[in-house]
Amino acid sequence: MEATKAFPQPQEVCNLIVCTVADERALYDFSDKLIESGIQHASFCEPDIGNQLTALATEPLYGDQRKAFSNLPLMKGK
């Protein structure tokens, strides 16, 4: 939800999609992929677990920008 503070709000309704990666290293690697793709994103670290990177949030994405996420699994509920 912090992404709503980090990026300008689009005029149309957006959906929140949550994807997963295996570990912190994979999250850093994905951050690099977003940078290479020109996709703005914010990183979130948890101070109570050694400032580990725990999440990324992107700007609202459209069209081909979404392809950057094509290999990530969606987070599933229990």
pLDDT tens figures, 30-76:
999 999 999 999 999 999 999 999 999 999 998 999 999 999 999 88
Question: How many Cβ atoms from other residues are within 10 Å of residue 58's Cβ?
Answer: 19
pLDDT digits (tens, 9 = 90+) for 8-30: 888 888 888 899 999 999 999 99
Question: Which residues share a beta bridge with 56?
Answer: 43
Q: Which percentage of the chain shows pLDDT scores above 90?
A: 69
Q: Please check the confidence at residue 78 and state whether its pLDDT lies above 80.
A: no
What is this structure's pTM? Answer: 0.85
Q: Give residue limits of the domains in the chain.
A: 3-69
Q: Which residues of 36-50 are buried (b: 16+ CB within 10 A; e: fewer)?
A: eeebebeeeeeeeee
